[in-house]
Each structure stands twice: as structure tokens, then as C-alpha cells.
Amino acid sequence: MDRKLVAIDLDGTTLNNDSQLTHETESAIRKVVEQGHIVSIATGRPFRTSQQFYKQLRLDTPIVNFNGAWCHHPNDYNWENGYHKRLDRDIALSLLPLSRFPIVKLISAESQDHIYVDRAAEETYSTGSPIRNVPTVPFTKENLQESPTSVNVFTAEEYFIPFIQNRIIEHYGDEIEVRTWGGPTPTLEIVAAGIQKAMGVEEIAKYYNISQDNIIAFGDEANDFEMIQYAGLGVMMKNGIDGLKEVADDVTSYTNHEHGLAKYLTEYFNL
């Protein structure tokens, strides 16, 4: 078998519904690596919240964060294929008024070194927010003196995502990309135009001299669409959104909470 690049989304794919990496999944991924294949994480998460899984899997490969806005090698800061695409500062600041909507729980801007948060929503930090227990800076014009990697809008319910997404797209059009996902914290992530996970996966494949046909990608949400479409074998999770069916080559027989990724890898690679 030719060497494969296996690109794995985290939430809803590699992790179960409790945001945990199970022993079954961890074991399967390690066995794939032991066979000589490349496994890389491609997630909408920042590195700070995906680092624990990178370490748990004992990976030594590049990772794609922020839905493709940042592709880097955690163990090689001089990795030649890395890149970091930023969102224009003025656009980031102009998104702050969205916090006036009652359906918006929190707005944050993230860079490699800082997390800026909407002061109007500070009371939510300690109650289920993905930025709890992380040092933050108030998200203001005075404090944000850099172009961030992304702006995240956290909503009260997944039901509200289309409304907010349409408002943003109507205003900015093709200046930005909006990626969304559900789960415990329904989120809209706004990044620079053209950003997608497939960009990072392509760079990783080039680095390891792996052809597009030998890329296998797993995902479950709208932010995985281009990555699954780009891969030689694009696999959507059984629990994935219906929109992925038009580009997926295959579907796992089990959900993320039933070790669907591990079982698919076990069968495909004969682990």
C-alpha cells in the first residue's frame, strides 16, 4: 500500500460526544502511524485547545488550526511549508456590534499569542465557554492592535447560526469566509477569504510528497466540506451533516460516539 496522509477533524469525528479521545481511537491512529502513514489533525480549533490531543496521539506531524488559517508543525517552528493567514483588523473590529444581539453569547478574536474577548459577555467565561481558564484581553479597538487569525461568534443555540451567518455574509460578501459548527457551543468562525482546511492538507501532502489520490480525510461538519472534496478518499462520519453527502466518497458505519473513525481505520488499513 502506498503511504497515505490521513487528515482527521477533531470534534464530531476523532473525539466522542464528550470531547474525549477514546482508547479505541487513540490505538487505531497509533497503529496507522506505525505502518508508516502520516496522520495530521485538521481542526477549526486553535492550537491551544487541540494541543492536548496532538500530544496524546504522540504525533510529530504538521497540524491545521483555525479551519486552515494556520498550518504549522508544533515540533518544528521553522517548518518550510507553514503559513499563517490573518483576518483584516478593521473587519474584526466591525464584527463587535454583533454582541448586541441577545442570541450571541460571546465574541472573541484569536491570534497566535492572545485571545481578545467581548467585555459585554465576560460573565459567560466561566460557564461553559471554550475560553474558560484561559488568560484573555478585552476585545476593544484600543487593545486589538494586530490582525487576528479569526473572530469567533458563539451563539446560544445552533438554531441561530444561519441568521447570524446571513447577516455577516450580506455585509462582507467575498471578503471573508464563515465556517460553522454545532455541538455544545454552536460557533461561527470568521477568517480571511479563501481559507479552508484543504489548503493546509495540501501543504502537508506536498511536504511528504504524497499525491492527492493518497489523501484520506475524515469530517462531519460544513467546515470539512472542501477537505473531504479535495481528498482522494473523503469520508464523512455517520453523524455528519447531510450537506457532506454530495462530496463524500464514503460514510463511516458508526458515529463518532461509537468509535466510528477507529473502526473505519481498522478495516481500511487491516489493523
Give the Cα separation of 59 and 118 in Å (integer). Answer: 34
Name the strand (E) or helix (H) holding 199: helix 197-207
Q: Which long-range contacts (CB under 8 A, 24 or more apart) does 171-177 make?
A: 172/91, 175/88, 175/91, 176/87, 176/91, 177/67
Catalytic residue, chosen from 2, 9, 11, 224, is 9
Asked if 9 is an active-site residue, the reply is yes
Q: Which long-range contacts (CB under 8 A, 24 or more apart) does 56-64 make?
A: 56/21, 56/26, 57/21, 57/26, 57/29, 57/30, 58/30, 58/33, 59/33, 61/204, 62/200, 62/203, 62/204, 62/207, 64/7, 64/40, 64/197, 64/199, 64/200, 64/201, 64/204
- 230 in Cβ contact with 248 (< 8 Å): no
The pairing of strands 250-251 and 233-236 is: parallel
- The x, y and z cell numbers of residue 122, run together, are 465576560
Catalytic machinery residues: 9
